[in-house]
Amino acid sequence: MNLTFYMKRTHLAAILILGLGIVFLVFASNDFSTFASFESAQKSGKRVKIAGQLSLSDPILYDPEKDPNFFSFFMVDEKGNKRKVVINEPKRRDFERSEQIVVTGKMNDKNEFEATEMLLKCPSKYKEEELALRKQAAAM
């Protein structure tokens, strides 16, 4: 083979692959997103990701004896709108303590958000803990 490249093949390969990498990253950025709101989900009818807070004043329903895979609660999104969220999975531990909830799914015709995935952000367990004065308490 007598090719008259200006650059070495290895360099060419390196440049090709790095170029490919940038193309990949441009595509990959489609996977990055911010969060939708209940309203925009209602309008678009698409599968979206919504972040918000659990509304503790509304009922949190989970009756494992009836159906261990059905769980519903009310969530307030970042725009302040509240909707009922239903999800087909067992209730998570520390659910009530969550600081933030991120649900992925879409709105149904009953004006509920049907989530297929849920992420909970919980306060770190050991960060703000006070001194454990159990012995003192027992002595008193």
Partner 1 sequence: MDEISYIGEHLWLGQLGHFLVVLAFVSSLFAAWSFYQSQKDDSWAKLAKFGYHIHGISIITVFGLILYAMFNHYYEYDYVYRTVADESLTHYLLAAFWADQEGSFLLWMFWHVILGWIFMQKDGRWVAPTMVTLILIQAFLISMLLGIYLPFGDDFKIGSNPFILVRDVYDAPIFSNADYLGLIEGRGLNPLLQNYWMTIHPPVIFLGFASTSIPFCMSIASLSTREHLPILKPLLKWTLFNAFILGLGILMGGAWAYEALTFGGYWAWDPVENTSLVPWLLLMAGIHTNLIAISTRYSIKTTYVYYMLAFFTLLYSTFLTRSGILGDTSVHAFTTMGLETQLVMFILFFIGLGLFKYLSGRSSIPRIQKEESIQSREFWMFVGALILFFSGFLMTASTSLPVYNKIVELFNPNHIPLAIDDPMHHHNKYQIWIGVFIGLLTGLAILLRYHGANWAQYSRKYLKHTGITLGISLVLTILISQAIRIIGWQQYFFLLAGLFAIIANLDYLVVFVKGNMKTAGAAFSHMGFGVLILGIMISGLNNRTITSSFFEQSDFAEGDAADKAVILIKDEPRYSSGYWMHYKDDTLVHNLRKYEIEFTKVDSNNVPLRQFTTRPNVIYSNDFTKIEAPNPGNHRTLLYDVFTAAGPPPHMWDIANVKALEDSLKYLSHLVETGETFEESKYLATVGTPIFNYDFGEEDHGDTTQYDLTLGIPLDVVIKRTGEQMRVVPGLGLKNALVFQFPVVINELGIKIKIPEAAFSEIFTEEDKLKYEDIRLRQDEFIVWNDYKIQLKGFDRSGNYRNYTPREGDIALAAELEITTPDGMVISQNPLFILRNAQQFSIKDYSPESSLHIRFSNIDPNSETMTFRVARDDRSQEAIELLIAEDVPRSDILIVEANIFPGINLVWLGCLMMLGGIVMSLISRRMSAKNGIS
Question: Which positions touch partner 1 (CB under 8 A)?
Answer: 1, 8-10, 13-14, 17-18, 20-21, 24-25, 28, 31-35, 49, 62, 64-65, 67-70, 86, 88-91, 93, 104, 108, 114, 116-117, 121-122, 124-127, 129-136, 139
Indicate the residue among 43 and 99 with the shorter CB distance to partner 1: 99
| Cα dihedral 58, 60, 66, 67 in deg (nearest 10) | 130
Report how far residue 13's alpha carbon sits from residue 19's, in angstroms, rounded to the nearest whole number: 10
Helix ranges (DSSP H) in 45-133: none
Tokens of 38: 């209940």
Indicate the residue among 39 and 67 with the shorter CB distance to partner 1: 67
Residues 6+ apart with CB under 8 A from 37: 50, 77, 78, 79, 81
Report how far residue 105's alpha carbon sits from residue 48's, in angstroms, rounded to the nearest whole number: 6
Indicate the residue among 57 and 139 with the shorter CB distance to partner 1: 139
CB of 22 to partner 1, least distance (A): 10
CB of 30 to partner 1, least distance (A): 9
CB of 127 to partner 1, least distance (A): 6
Indicate the residue among 83 and 91 with the shorter CB distance to partner 1: 91
At 28, which helix (H) or strand (E)? helix 9-28
CB of 111 to partner 1, least distance (A): 13
CB of 133 to partner 1, least distance (A): 6
62 within 8 A of 75, measured Cβ to Cβ: no
